[in-house]
Amino acid sequence: MAKLKCNDYGFECDFVVDGEIEEVIVQFRDHTEDVHGIDYSKEAVMQFLLRKQGL
């Protein structure tokens, strides 16, 4: 299971997504592109998850 919160990455936004890693990546990327206009790569979001888990 994985969890990302938009406000952890500098946005004043209450968006939170949790679930399986692949689904979290897709939903977080869709949200940041649609709402914040930022197109993070799949690899960048994976790095967010790895850093959050301390890996």
Q: Which pLDDT belongs to residue 54?
A: 72
Tokens of 32: 């940041």
Tokens of 47: 């790095």
In angstroms, rounded to a whole number, what is the distance separating the alpha carbons of residues 51 and 39? 19
Summarize pLDDT for 35-52 with one digit per residue, the tens: 999 999 999 999 999 988
Confidence of residue 55 (pLDDT cuts 50, 70, 90): low
Summarize pLDDT for 9-27 with one digit per residue, the tens: 889 999 999 999 999 999 9
Q: Where are the domains of the chain?
A: 2-52
Q: Which pLDDT belongs to residue 20?
A: 95
**Alpha helices by DSSP H, the chain:** 21-36, 42-52
Could you identify the residue written with the tokens 């709402």?
35
